């Protein structure tokens, strides 16, 4: 019976969460008729959520009012179904009453929470990231021991631009490369050779560059010095490394997509935050002096997600803080028609706004342009 209740609770929470989301969407469209003169069609994912809500309601109604003749059958069916739910999943569902998108992926969540408590966790970093990328963030906690490298080096680099990173501090089994030098060999631009990266944020070769000394100077001159920053999608942490050299603390959000970015960042003595682009970052309101969006933030992000991302950056920034869009790329006409108005919604002061054609092969093929913008949050807001 307890298990059945747990299942009901799970469905109820999924229902509440999707409802809140849909209500929010509907109310935001209703409240801003002027901002969107052309009525936007209801996005597919909302229709999908409404459908989920409807089936959840149907399901709950069936569970709560079983017909007298079918009741014993239904009870057996439910208890055998819920017997398969890992106990930690039910426990977690009760601890976290505001449900997240985890509930939209019950199979993956089920798989993730299917482990033996108090023993070694399954080695499933890809499953974890699959869930995170589907919006299941933060992931539920588990009561098991996660794997660690078998013979880690104890001599870790003391400065953020070391000549090499210790391979023995990474579990390489899920990657085709088994060392940092292999990663560098196949793709030197990924940032796994910190020494190669050291000039990236200190030199000026085009208008799109904003070298760190210049950035710090701009902020200092405006009476708004930088001490704390968040780098969204910061790869191996090279921006944080460059800022560390100037005594500025930067938190780097990163995912291990195809390479151990989080480990590399940490091995440089910088703090990696394992967070996707589409979820609220666990940083308190108004505490950051700077939020940087690197090339991970670009036209591939759906417009609405990007809008929420920018407003989350605004939330984290103190008044007078800076938002740095570092080589944001989009299709040429979209920059003027779509992204400029979107960025304009923040009402920030344009300190720098530089655009240039993106001249690599995909840039030329798609008519893409880069934007580097430094924007300052108004003081009185």
367 touches ligand NAG (CB under 6 A): yes
Q: CA-to-CA distance for 375 and 333, rounded, in angstroms?
A: 21
357 touches ligand NAG (CB under 6 A): yes
CB-wise, 149 or 332, nearer to ligand NAG?
332
Residue 318 dihedral angles phi and psi, to the nearest 5°: -75, 165
Task: Give min distance, CB of 357 to ligand NAG, in A.
Answer: 4
CB-wise, 45 or 227, nearer to ligand NAG?
227
CB-wise, 174 or 246, nearer to ligand NAG?
246
Task: Give min distance, CB of 356 to ligand NAG, in A.
Answer: 7
**Using an 8 Å Cβ cutoff, are 23 and 29 in contact?**
no
The tokens for 187 are 């793709």
**Using an 8 Å Cβ cutoff, are 315 and 282 in contact?**
no
Between the alpha carbon of residue 300 and those of residues 232, 279, 303, the distances in Å are 15, 16, 9
Q: Binding-site residue total for ligand NAG (CB under 6 A)?
A: 5
Question: Of residues 212-271, which lie at the interface with ligand NAG (CB under 6 A)?
Answer: 246-247
Cis bond leading into 138, ω under 30°?
Answer: yes
CB-wise, 276 or 332, nearer to ligand NAG?
332
Helix-strand-coil split of the chain, %, nearest 5: 45, 15, 40
Give the contact letters, 146-185, x = binds to ligand NAG (CB under 6 A), - = no. Answer: ----------------------------------------
Task: Give min distance, CB of 272 to ligand NAG, in A.
Answer: 22
CB-wise, 212 or 325, nearer to ligand NAG?
212
H-only helix segments in the chain: 2-31, 44-64, 71-83, 87-95, 106-112, 125-133, 180-186, 194-197, 212-221, 238-244, 261-267, 303-316, 332-334, 340-344, 361-366
Q: Report the candidate in 267, 280, 274, 276 with the shortest Cα–Cα distance to residue 251.
A: 274
Task: Give min distance, CB of 99 to ligand NAG, in A.
Answer: 44
Task: Give min distance, CB of 298 to ligand NAG, in A.
Answer: 17
Give the contact letters, 300-339, x = binds to ligand NAG (CB under 6 A), - = no. Answer: --------------------------------x-------
The tokens for 275 are 């967070």
Chain residues binding ligand NAG by CB under 6 A are 246-247, 332, 357, 367
């Amino acid at each position: 019976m307890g298990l059945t209740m747990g299942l009901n609770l799970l469905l109820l929470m999924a229902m509440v969460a999707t409802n809140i989301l849909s209500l929010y969407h509907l109310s935001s469209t209703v409240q801003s008729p002027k901002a969107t003169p052309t009525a936007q069609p209801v996005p597919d994912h909302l229709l999908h959520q409404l459908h989920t809500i409807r089936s959840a309601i149907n399901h709950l109604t069936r569970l709560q009012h079983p017909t007298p003749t079918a009741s014993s059958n239904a009870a057996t069916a439910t208890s055998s179904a819920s017997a398969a739910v890992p106990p930690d999943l039910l426990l977690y569902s009760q601890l976290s009453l505001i449900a997240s998108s985890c509930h939209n992926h019950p199979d993956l969540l089920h798989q993730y929470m299917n482990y033996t408590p108090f023993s070694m966790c399954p080695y499933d970093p890809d499953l974890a990231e699959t869930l995170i990328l589907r919006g299941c963030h933060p992931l539920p906690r588990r009561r098991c021991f996660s794997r660690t490298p078998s013979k880690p080096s104890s001599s870790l680099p003391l400065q953020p631009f070391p000549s090499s990173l210790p391979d023995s501090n990474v579990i390489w089994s899920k990657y085709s490369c088994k060392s940092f030098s292999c990663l560098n060999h196949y793709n030197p631009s990924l940032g796994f050779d910190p020494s190669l990266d050291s000039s990236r944020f200190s030199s000026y070769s085009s208008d799109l560059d904003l070298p760190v000394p210049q950035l710090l100077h701009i902020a200092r001159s405006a009476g708004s010095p930088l001490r704390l920053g968040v780098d969204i999608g910061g790869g191996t942490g090279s921006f944080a490394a460059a800022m560390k050299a100037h005594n500025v603390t930067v938190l780097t959000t990163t995912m291990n997509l195809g390479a151990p970015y989080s480990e590399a960042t940490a091995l440089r003595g910088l703090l990696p935050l394992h967070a996707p682009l589409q979820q609220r970052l666990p940083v308190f309101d108004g505490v950051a002096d700077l939020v940087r969006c690197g090339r991970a933030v670009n036209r591939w992000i759906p417009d609405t997600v990007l809008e929420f991302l920018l407003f989350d950056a605004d939330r984290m920034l103190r008044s007078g803080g800076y938002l740095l869009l570092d080589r944001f790329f989009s299709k040429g006409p979209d920059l003027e028609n779509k992204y400029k108005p979107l960025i304009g919604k923040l009402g920030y002061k344009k300190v720098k706004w530089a655009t240039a054609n993106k001249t690599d092969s995909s840039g030329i093929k798609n008519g893409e342009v880069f934007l580097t913008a430094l924007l300052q949050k108004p003081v009185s807001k």
